[in-house]
Amino acid sequence: MKKPMKVVVTGAAGQIGYSLLFRICAGEVFGKDQPINLWLLERNNETSIKAVRGVMMELDDCAFPLLASLNSTSDPVECFEGADVAFLVGARPRSKDMQRKDLIEANARIFIEQGKAIDQSSNKNIKVLVVGNPCNTNAYIARRCAPSINPRNFTAMMRLDHNRALTQLAQKYDCAVDEITDLVVWGNHGNTMYPDLNQTKIGEKKVADTLDATWYTDNFTPTVAKRGSAIIEARGHSSAASAANAAIDHVRDWVLGSNDQWVTMAVPSDGSYGVPEGLVFGFPCICKDGDYQIVQGLQLTEEQKAGIARNIVALEEERKIVDELIG
Ligand code: NDP
């Protein structure tokens, strides 16, 4: 048996946490031969602690062979101590009438604290996935507050947008999702995201050669970008199981590899494709040997450059707000 790895999940008693934890413990992320020491970061109030206790009781009751130990704490430094992987799901939800700026400020406090704790106590090779929104900017904040960790190790989740785009395309072209390759959703997990089919293939055929431009503009792009609201409208609750599934896909591929396939990951920019360094931006990535690389060498069209540019503007605005907060 392998040595257990330490995995931290925040927001464990939330909707996404409730879908995510059981699949992590079943071996769907790190493999069926990888035991884990699972730590849950709870908020220090009676309701939160009680809710996390309830989830822990259920995890116990599953008798997962791979769950070597299970703990919770409201002390971030203790929680992240020696952590190998962190899923940062917990975040302050957007309340009615709350502006995006207010949401960013409210969440900045959470991710500043967690970034500092990661810096202080985690394994220096920790892999961090931020799910809590605004996830790109929250990942940026945590990364800035953890100067002793390689910036590359702070990523944010755009895999749900990627998966949504895959299925919309598969339904339009009546093909299986795994026949589709080289699809990416550039930029920010927000209204400006840019689902890009310019390089996408179905089998050997390029989608761009037969693309229905009206469908792409009027149907595909808004469906992908507004899917979260459509699910809330239909279900009365936000997308939780599909978000948990995307978190699993993201971290599993990062750790175990993406089999030479493109996956969308929001990662700190290294300047690729003109994206300012440090912005946590959705790029096409390939994962191998526990690492990811941004796909290089794409010849971008004017349309692609514009799609990327509008996301740079959106994320630069958010960066300005949080840079002032972090100082
Ligand atoms: P829930 O409202 O069900 O759960 C939120 C969790 O966050 C709870 O565990 C809650 O803790 C915790 N939380 C709330 N406020 C704070 C705070 N001030 N400090 C620390 N933790 C807090 O939300 P979901 O599980 O549905 O979603 C979690 C996050 O994921 C949201 O930010 C959501 O917008 C985001 N999301 C991101 C997606 C993506 O594609 N990137 C897709 C879908 C969702 P407690 O139990 O103590 O109340």
What's residue 327's pLDDT? 80
Confidence of residue 97 (pLDDT cuts 50, 70, 90): confident
What's residue 93's pLDDT? 81
pLDDT digits (tens, 9 = 90+) for 163-195: 999 999 999 999 999 999 999 999 999 999 999
- 236 burial (CB, 10 Å; 0-12 / 13-18 / 19+) is exposed
The closest residue, in CA terms, to atom 35 on ligand 1 is: 132
pTM of this prediction?
A: 0.97
Q: The tokens of 288 are what?
A: 């191998």
Indicate if the alpha-carbon torsion angle 192, 153, 120, 18 is positive or negative: positive
Indicate the domain borders of the chain: 5-156, 159-318
Q: Do domains 5-156 and 159-318 have the same CATH topology?
A: no
Residue 7: phi, psi to the nearest 5?
-120, 130
pLDDT at 99 over 90: no
CA distance 48 to 63: 24
- CA 246 to ligand 1: nearest atom: 40
pLDDT at 100 over 80: no
Q: The tokens of 192 are what?
A: 């400006």
326 C-alpha to ligand 1 centroid (Å): 22
91 C-alpha to ligand 1 centroid (Å): 4
Q: The tokens of 322 are what?
A: 């949080």
The closest residue, in CA terms, to atom 32 on ligand 1 is: 132
Catalytic residue list contains 189: yes
Indicate if the alpha-carbon torsion angle 81, 287, 189, 169 is positive or negative: negative
In CATH, the number for domain 159-318 is 3.90.110.10
Q: Which class is domain 5-156?
A: alpha beta
- 42 burial (CB, 10 Å; 0-12 / 13-18 / 19+) is buried
Asked whether the beta carbons of 155 and 265 are under 8 A apart, the reply is: yes
pLDDT digits (tens, 9 = 90+) for 249-272: 999 999 999 999 999 999 999 999
CA distance 100 to 116: 24
* Pocket lined around ligand 1, Cβ cut-off 6 Å: 11, 13-17, 43, 48, 51, 89-93, 110, 131-133, 135, 157, 160, 189, 238-240, 243
The closest residue, in CA terms, to atom 17 on ligand 1 is: 92
What's residue 85's pLDDT? 98
pLDDT digits (tens, 9 = 90+) for 11-22: 999 999 999 999
What's residue 101's pLDDT? 83
Active-site pick, 162, 189, 237, 250: 189
What's residue 195's pLDDT? 98
Percent of the chain at pLDDT > 90 equals 93
Chain mean position to CA 275: 19
Probe ligand 1: pick from 133, 160, 245, max atoms within 8 Å of CB?
Answer: 133
Query: Quick count: other Cβ atoms within 10 Å of Cβ 70?
Result: 17
pLDDT digits (tens, 9 = 90+) for 130-153: 999 999 999 999 999 999 999 999
Q: The tokens of 53 are what?
A: 């206790």
What's residue 102's pLDDT? 87
pLDDT digits (tens, 9 = 90+) for 210-256: 999 999 999 999 999 999 999 999 999 889 999 999 999 999 999 99
